[in-house]
Each structure stands twice: as structure tokens, then as C-alpha cells.
Amino acid sequence: MCDVQPILKQRAQFDDDKYVRCAAVQELAHGWCKEDSEIFELLCDIAINDPVYRDYDWQISPRQTALADIIELYPDRPQTLELVRDLAQNDRDQNLREFAQKKLAELERK
């Protein structure tokens, strides 16, 4: 494991700045082997548990960034469809819920 990866994981989950968390999420998703199940699990955790909720859909969201990366990189994992379906139906953030609904429709068409 690269020395930078633990730092990025820490920043993705715990940094006080949502912009730093988003940047760390993107770097983890696109900078490491997508077969790394630890990265997939971390992205799922962030998509579910990051504390940022938006008032407007244009505002940055580590949760949506993580979800978009999961859908892009892991579309064939059964857990991806389960996660997207759950967020589309039950998420408390309306903007994320609508994003998940759109992506769910795309995944189900494939």
C-alpha cells in the first residue's frame, strides 16, 4: 500500500472541509486499483455516512462524489445496485436521493 493512501482515507472520512473530503474521495477512487475491496467499502461508507447535506443540487457533496465513483467504477457489483436503490428510495438528502434515482434508472436499463 502506498504511504499516501492512508492519509487520503483519513482525509476522505474525517477532514473538516467538504472540498478536501471530495478531493480525497476522487483521488482514492481513480488513483488506486479498482479491485481493491477496501476502496469500494470506503466509498460506500462515505456515500452513506458523510455528514454533508445540501440545500441546492449545485453544492458539493462528498456523498454524491462517492456514489458517482461507485457507479462508474463498480457498476457490476451487486452491492452497487443495492446501495443505489436504497439511497434512491430512503436517503434523507433530497438532492442525493434524486441523483440516485436518475442513476438507478440508468443502471436498470443496462
Mean pLDDT within 26-45: 87
Flag whether pLDDT at 1 surpasses 60: no
What is d(CA 8, CA 13) in angstroms, rounded to the nearest whole number? 9
* pLDDT computed for residue 2 by the predictor: 58
Cα separation, 18 vs 84, whole angstroms: 22
pTM, two decimal places: 0.90
pLDDT by residue (tens digit) across 19-33? 999 999 999 998 876
* DSSP 3-state of 58: coil
Burial (CB < 10 A; 0-12, 13-18, 19+), residue 75, is middle
